Structure 1
């Protein structure tokens, strides 16, 4: 369904099947199995653009220059 994968660098770990990060693994598996993985990037982009367009962000950027 999605190519998003949050499992990083744990492919070569030899263990007895118990994950070192069960919460992270659960969240990654849940995210990959839901439409949230498809929606997250456009929503994040929208929120970033929205925050940058607020008067406070514009004022802050102009004061930094």
Structure 2
């Protein structure tokens, strides 16, 4: 399973928010960005933070309420 892909981030007042996409929208985003002739530079040396799914977040808070 490939754990890499492009994601959309919305920034408002200096706070980054993930943009939720449907499976179809995500497929179109991945296809569009992979179609660029030039490689896209990924700022691996400047991460925004750890990414977890909503299911992982809910699972981690279920026992701590």
TM-score bucket (shorter structure): under 0.3
Q: Name the structure with the higher helix share.
A: 1
Q: Name the structure with the higher strand share.
A: 2
Structure with the larger RCO, 1 or 2 (CA within 8 Å, 6+ apart)? 1
Q: State the structure with more CA Rg.
A: 1
